Amino acid sequence: METLDQLENISIRILREAYASFKSLCMLWSIGKDSTVLLWLARKAFFGHVPFPLVHIDTSYKIPEMIAYRDRLTQEWGLTMIYGQNEQALKEKQTFPEGNADRLTCCKLLKTDALRNTLSGKWTRYRFNHETGKYEADKNIEPFTGVIVGVRADEEGSRSKERYFSPRDKDNDWDVDDQPPEFWNQFKTDFAPGTHLRIHPLLDWTELNIWEYIQRESIPTVSLYYNQGDGKRYRSLGCGPCTHPIMSESRNVAEIIEELETGKLSNIAERSGRAQDKDDGGGLETLRRDGYM
């Protein structure tokens, strides 16, 4: 497992460097396998304590098990958990499939716009109260200007264009053609005032690396990733109406690893079950240029 040790060391270095270099830092937690591995690494990097808030963008269409899992780990691990939401779009039914929006419009409103305005503090954020076990309006509206994200370069085309430290403008817009070079693990961490930073500690991990690490570290994941007896499982998690399982007999982590190592999924893209990718021309670049994860 030498490769996993190397990847873990680089990711922990990135996390510590980000914390030392940037103020108003948070970490996005989508509740999927990648961002949960990232959360685990953050706990390792800071000796069991995560020193920055976790932010989840709740579209209200997530599969219920995902939300239950989020809140259970928040309590068990003593996390500072914040969620943001586009309450107006939900109220006005600017959604898919229940409302009057197509998939990409729904994604823009419930994910991209919600993320940008949650990070900026323009919209109400809700923080988990460990004493009451409930979410309450967060009184702190300071903008988050540095955001740690669990994206991997091999997962989807536009993500291969990222850097470990990837600048956005003050509105979170991403200029793909204006990224700093990163040679020999030399990272640029000094940016002009007003720059919004995305930090990607998992950039060089693969899907197989993620599952091998989950196995090695015994990281808890939602059961949606495993075949429950119907010959299907989720490979990537998102909103219920737009995320579909793949055909797979894998019932546990070891079987998923075997499935990946033997190439049983080589003809199936990892995000093939994410309908919004198809509507965006087979990728996420349109959404991501506008500030999506």
Provide the CATH number for the domain around residue 126. Answer: 3.40.50.620
User: Is the residue at 79 inside a domain?
Assistant: yes
Count: domains in the chain: 2
**Is residue 290 included in any domain, yes or no?**
no
Are 56 and 120 found together in one domain?
yes
Cα–Cα distance, 25 to 9 (Å, whole number): 21
Average pLDDT of the residues of the chain: 89
Residues 186 and 219 in one domain: no
In the chain, the percentage of residues whose pLDDT exceeds 90 is 69
Whether 286 shows a pLDDT value over 70: the answer reads: no
* Chain-centroid distance, C-alpha 152: 10
Q: Is residue 122 part of a domain?
A: yes
Say if CB 164 and CB 15 are below 8 A apart: no
- Give the span between the Cα atoms of 60 and 110, in whole angstroms: 9
Q: Are residues 152 and 28 in the same domain?
A: yes
196-199 vs 165-168, strand pairing mode:
antiparallel
Residue closest to 128 by CA, chosen among 63, 66, 84, 191: 84
Taking 70 as the threshold, does the pLDDT of residue 157 lie above it? no
Integer CA distances (angstroms), 26 to 56, 59, 105, 144, in order: 10, 19, 26, 6
Whether residue 196 is found in the same domain as residue 230: no
Query: Is the CB of residue 109 less than 8 Å from the CB of residue 89?
Result: yes
Q: Is the pLDDT of residue 178 over 60?
A: yes
pLDDT at 148 over 80: yes
- 10, 134: one domain: yes
Q: Are residues 40 and 175 in the same domain?
A: yes
How far is residue 44's CA from residue 292's CA, in Å, rounded to a whole number?
27
CA within 13 Å, CB half, 122 = 9
Asked if residue 238 and residue 140 are part of one domain, the reply reads no
Statement to judge: residues 145 and 244 lie in one domain:
no
What is the pTM for the complete model shown? 0.89
Region 1-6: mean pLDDT is 88
Residue 7 has pLDDT above 80, yes or no: yes
Give the containing element (helix H, strand E) for 263.
none
Both 174 and 220 in one domain: the answer is no
Range of the structural domain that residue 236 is part of: 211-277
Ranges 112-116, 170-174, 234-238, 250-254: which has the least confidence: 170-174
Quote the pLDDT of residue 189.
74
198 lies in the same domain as 245 = no
User: Does residue 69 sit in the same domain as residue 136?
Assistant: yes
**Residues 249 and 111 placed together within one structural domain of the fold:** no
